[in-house]
Amino acid sequence: MTDIKSMTRQEITEAMQSMGEPAFRGKQVFTWLHKGARSFEEMSNLSKSLRQKLAADYFVTSPQVARKQVSAQDGTVKYLWELGDGNCVETVLMRYHHGNTVCVSSQVGCRMGCAFCASTVGGKVRDLRPSEILDQVLFTQLDSGLPISNIVLMGIGEPMDNLDNVLRFLELVNHPDGLNIGMRHISLSTCGVLPGIRRLGDLGLQLTLSVSLHAPDSETRSKIMPVNRAYDVEDLFQECRRYFEKTGRRISFEYAMIDGVNDHDWQADLIAKKVKGMPAHVNLIPLNDVRESPLKPSRRIAAFQKRLESHGLTATVRRSLGGDIDASCGQLRRRAMEERKGEGL
């Protein structure tokens, strides 16, 4: 059985032609899938026999809402989706002035091991398929009734650790016969897997690259992000510079502020020194308290921001949305996993 929603428009068209169907059937099927059809049965402009033939060789992914939480404060919606094999991933819908944004997951769990992150606690279970990443956008839009204009790949998982599937997802979501979301409305966040940044840079896509920096010095970064031992922050800055030269796109650096660990003035000074001459934006994130972690939120966010700005850098503090729900970084999946354990499942 083949996952038809992970196929490109071209591939579906070729498959239809090899079944003796005219090429326009490819567009019909692709359009149905990208409108959120959950089975071939729903594709009413295809003959019954064609629908049956398709169902014999292909399947249509169709995630179910396992949990849904809506923030009373700001309308943020968090979904826990149950996938075909029973695994769950999270998607967050945020309502900004510039449009509705979904934050999608790229893997079930994560193997990067960042000390402050809830997504990595149970390790990586498996990669998501292109269809399963797309479904998060599709079904969040359908379930909420809110049109989605922006996507951030900042949910559970490391996109660069599943780059083939992520690239295919980008092609799908960008397609004019599908959701048609422009690359400039998409951000991809990485903890700093250098070969992935290089590959993305060579493709020259117009998406926004976010780099989870969290410390500008090797010693601190290696302590909180194991990936730094494989790809050192010095090389990361170099790779970012190359990425900018290739794409002309400003890079956004994510920086979760951790008490006494990465919130010293000298670290702000070092960031400024390292990104000198490259247009960069630093996004300071108030650390979300993760129960499993001894790391605590910094009380120096404003001072750190000032220090960065004194060097001429653009630094913003991320507004926290969904504070009254588990709207960040693998928290809802963690909670559901714990409760299932408690229920003896």
Residue 209 CB, nearest approach to ligand SAH (Å): 10
Residue 195 CB, nearest approach to ligand SAH (Å): 15
Residue 130 CB, nearest approach to ligand SAH (Å): 17
Q: Which of 228, 212, 152, 146 is nearest to 183 (CA)?
A: 152
Closer CB to ligand SAH, 83 or 290, in the complex: 290
Answer yes or no: 329 catalytic.
yes
Q: Which residues sit opposite 187 in a β-bridge? A: 152, 208
Amino acid at position 188, single letter: L
- The conformational region for residue 252 under phi > 0 = left, psi -120 to 50 = alpha, else beta, is beta
Closer CB to ligand SAH, 132 or 158, in the complex: 158
**Catalytic option among 88, 110, 240, 329:** 329
Closer CB to ligand SAH, 30 or 116, in the complex: 116
Residue 21 CB, nearest approach to ligand SAH (Å): 40
- CA 90, 281, 109: angle at the middle one, nearest 5? 20
Closer CB to ligand SAH, 4 or 166, in the complex: 166
Interface residue list for ligand SAH (CB under 6 A): 114, 116-117, 154, 158, 189-191, 212, 254, 256, 285, 287-288, 290, 329
CA 125 to chain centre: 16
Residue 48 CB, nearest approach to ligand SAH (Å): 44
Calculate the alpha carbon distances from 57 to 12, 13, 40, 50 in Å.
12, 15, 11, 11
C-alpha count within 13 angstroms, C-beta hemisphere, residue 330: 26
**Catalytic option among 21, 90, 132, 158:** 90
Closer CB to ligand SAH, 35 or 296, in the complex: 296
DSSP strand pairing (99-103 vs 88-96) = antiparallel
| Distance separating alpha carbons of residues 207 and 209, to the nearest angstrom | 6
Answer yes or no: 90 catalytic.
yes
Catalytic residues: 90, 329
